[in-house]
Amino acid sequence: QRRHVAHFTFQPDPVPTQYGPTQKMNLFQSVTSALDNTLATDPTAGILIFGEDVAFGGVFRCTVGLRDKYGKDRVFNTPLCEQGIVGFGIGVAVTGATAIAEIQFADYIFPAFDQIVNEAAKYRYRSGNLFDCGKLTIRAPWGCVGHGSLYHSQSPEAFFAHCPGIKVVIPRGPVQAKGLLLSCIADMNPCIFFEPKILYRAAVEQVPVEAYTIPLSQADILQEGSDVTLVAWGTQVHVMREVANMAQEKLGVSCEVIDLQTILPWDIDTVCKSVVKTGRLLISHEAPVTGGFASEISSTVQ
């Protein structure tokens, strides 16, 4: 079976009006804005941002200017050790501070797998709710980019979807990226926030300047339809939007397009209600087919 790189066109959302003034931002700038809003809420060391090269702005410039604005004690580099980055973040969060850790690429999150799955996810449960690291958020660039090869193109969300105690979130664009990231930071559970790296500069929208949140575990119905339900997350949402338009124009098929947004815990109700209406379901993701999160969705719906 031959596979080919799929082309897609980013489709911006309508300008949000409910959150105040907006500014043109791409996805990495919306992430920076969210982190800036967060740091501004606490002048002390109660909020820390750390990771490989974040003091210099990060390889994708998501933290550019934050060290100069808020100080080297709040935005700082770490050694090249993902296990240490997450382990440090767990410790910071347990003390009550807000820890925002960056893993430079999602492909490199696996050395930290034990810390995430066996420590962060289980801290509250194994202590009988005496302690928790709910103020930990882990950010990581995610997904294919077209030239990333094997160590800069992976989509590992399904590995973490098997683990109760954490939340896994993937946005489709700048507006969602800021609102969902701020929700992850405010949430009292450890969260993994995967950022589609191909959209860092390709995705541009009018993003609210002030802080706002978008609910976690709530899928977004982008287009209503009656013949088939199309479900995706991250970059593939835009592929599905194109598919929906093609199906309508060429086949007369009415597609309902859903952005899952949160992988864990996912919005079963919205997806199942849609499939009850349409009678058909098509799921698309970038990750390998075997054991992908589409399997979980399809088995639940079935």
pLDDT per position as a tens digit, 237-275: 999 999 999 999 999 999 999 999 999 999 999 999 999
The answer to pTM > 0.75 is yes
User: Within the chain, which residue ranges are assigned CATH 3.40.50.920?
Assistant: 220-301
Angstrom distance (rounded) from CA 127 to CA 201: 42
Nearest to 34 by CA among 87, 98, 108: 98
Q: For the chain, how are helix, strand and coil distributed in percent, rounded to 5?
A: 35, 20, 45
- Select 17-208's CATH number: 1.10.10.10, 3.40.50.150, 3.40.50.620, 3.40.50.970: 3.40.50.970
Angstrom distance (rounded) from CA 194 to CA 106: 7
What positions carry a catalytic annotation? Answer: 82, 152
Comparing 108-112, 145-149, 198-202, the range with the smallest average pLDDT is 145-149
Angstrom distance (rounded) from CA 271 to CA 267: 7
Tokens for 167? 């939340």
Contacts of 302 (CB under 8 A, 6+ apart): none
Furthest-apart CA atoms within the chain: distance in Å: 58
In CATH, what number does 220-301 get? 3.40.50.920
Percentage of residues in the chain having pLDDT higher than 70 = 98
DSSP strand pairing (167-169 vs 98-102):
unpaired
Angstrom distance (rounded) from CA 62 to CA 137: 15
Task: Average the pLDDT over 289-298 and give the result.
Answer: 96
pLDDT at 45: 86
